[in-house]
Structure 1
Amino acid sequence: LWFLRNYQYFAEVTPFQIEIFNAITVYATYFASVATAAFYFCFTKLPRRNAIILLLFLLGVPLVVAHSWFAASNLVFYIPTTLLIFGVAILAAIDVYRHRDIEHGAIGLAMLMAPIFSLYDVTLANGHRGWDGNGFYLAVFGGFQYTVSFLISFGKRALDAFAELANANVTLEQRIAETRAELEASEAARQQLVVSHALAGERERLMQEMHDGIGSNLITALAVARQQKQPVSTIKTLNRALADLKITVDSLEPVEGDIVALIGNLRHRMAGDLRDAGVICKWEAEKCRTLPWLDAANALHVLRIFQEAIGNVLSHSSATEMRIGCHEQSHSGVEGIAAYVADNGHGFDASGELPGKGLANISARARSLHGLLHTESEPGRGTTITLWLPYQRST
């Protein structure tokens, strides 16, 4: 359309009848401006733009009829064309002010220059202000300036698209790396799960063997010893061996780091001995978080510590009441759990040398757990043994 509009400027000869050539030039002026405005309306996302574009094109039909059939002057096309390009220029000024970027600025500037070129050419063609009508016309370059502005817009969008593609590639590589890491972690977790299942199966097998084999033999031996009225020392030794076996089996049970459950199982195991000794046991366990490092080996250390503490109550304290419990407690700013065994027995002087090797042994076990063992006792006021264990350990 712009080629038809500007062909008059560089055609050396009229290609067909001069009236038709003039009419095509005049018509193309309007329709080229409408097509350019249509592109700009779509670029700026003008509301109801499709209806406006259709209306502008349909408006050209009666203008053609008026010019060709009723011999109307060229102003029939030039006046609406002028109004259109001024309207588009106003829209461009608003759009450039709102967006202020190179893409909107380039196309908006082209739209703003159109009415200036038109006014200049009209003034030049009519010989005003000393011009004779043969000067340098500007409207002939309208199509060129529009094309350049459109290409700037396309180039800007192409560069943005390339940048987005590059970013997408980087993002894709990052996601691939993250997915690989997740897959590796998943595989490691799967392998760990396989190992855990294997260990659980082996632990179950060992527990079954100890229960059905060693445990059954000890129970039989204990029954025979009692039936044959063996010495009391023999029966006590068999009882201790059976109790030790039960505690070892308990340490193999999966407690998921729950020290409350671990101590509760021991309390249940020793309920008969406590009842036979006439000791009332009170349970004072509070809700505590789990210890993530409490595996079977560490669980056995904890059980041995409590076994020794409870055994001391039964053997040496002459207590009538015992309290077993635990609660959360911080030590030197480190969070942990304090589990204790307390009795109302005759006690001893804890400020001096600790009696027997039992307390020294359980102190060593506490250190291997990265915990602390504290003994409180006074003659006539009972004894309290507290085991403090941290929630988190360095190793």
Structure 2
Amino acid sequence: MRRERGAVSLEYGGSIAVAALVVALVGGVVASPTVGQAVSAVVCKVFTIGQGECAMPQFESEKDRTPTQPCTTNNNGYSVNGEVAFLNGVGSTSRGVHTEKLSNGQYRVTVSDISDAGVKTGAGWDARVEINGTRWGDDMSVSADGRVRAVEQRTYVVDSKGAAESIARSASFNEVVDGAAETAPGPFGFVAKHVGAPVTKWVGERAGFESLPEPTSTTYLGGASVEASAVITPFVGGAEAKLAGSAVVGVRTNADGTTTVLAEGKATATLSGAISIKSGSIGPDARVIVAATYKGSTLLSADVTTESLGDGTRDVETWSLPVETDADRTAAQNVLYNPLPTAWGDFFDRANSTGDHTRVSYDTSKNTTVQASGDIWFVEGLGAKAGFALPNESVASAEYFNGTNWATWDACKA
């Protein structure tokens, strides 16, 4: 990362780091008959990977339930990634710029830099190209992979499409310049970073690539990921089995003086076979994000978001609870401090009665992903990967819980 990492204070970290353990602990809770109906629903949604019925209980409405926060109606942009492996060491980087159109007419541009490093071991080889999930080439391997991860995100919220396009264009230019400087070898890298990059940006500003404003928020995340996989693809299609998980924690500083502390857990289970040219996956990615927003040491709100990927869709469900009473605070702290969802029932109850509960499904059929790789392993190995993604998502359906039933969220339309 180019900037000095932010640090989560003990005051915040103690209240939310434990939430990252949820991805590892909830699996044993799913079958428990003592889990309340609301908790069962979120557990079902995330950790059974979208399979089965995940109905929420009904609550008495205490206020106008129409969500006050805007939703993302469209998302597009790009990300590029690269990875190098030598012996047992492996490291990768990913950079991207994404622009979201919000339902209130504003635009949100997010610039992301992700890097990780770790250890990989196994046996096999990999020489293939993958486009939107369809593979060409040979890939036969069994491997285990463990890494530590660092993420930096800078977010800009603006009032017009033109302003968003200007920020996205300038951010993309800066990402290319900084990426080239950081990959330059030896002493050339020092010169490229401290002389070449600043001069290139100065010239770019005069060519129309404006300097970026102060971000609306800046997020730093750190964590770890593990993956175990077995793959055999000697022809188009092939077969793959993969189990992976990650957990990260971090802090977001906001321009309004608030601070948001985040914990994210992600699980992936993939099983695909050569029954068609395009591999079919069961058990798509599932992710849960717990967030707490503070003003100084005062807890303002807590949020739980689940996300799962289906066939051409990305489904996002969010529970938001503003902390206005002691009862709200207790319910929120149960989520932040306690890794067991059996203690989260009051949070979901209060989010459904005094907060917001929404679910939005995005059409991802127009997304484009390309990944090329070439490596060989026998305990130790050598290889490289590179690829890019071009998201192009729009709202397929949006609903909010009105206290008794799900209602159409009219403001959240593509």
Could you say which structure has the higher helix fraction?
A: 1
Could you say which structure has the higher strand fraction?
A: 2
- TM-score between the two structures when normalised by the length of structure 1: 0.18
Q: Max radius of gyration: which structure? A: 1
Greater relative contact order (CA < 8 Å, ≥ 6 in sequence)? 2
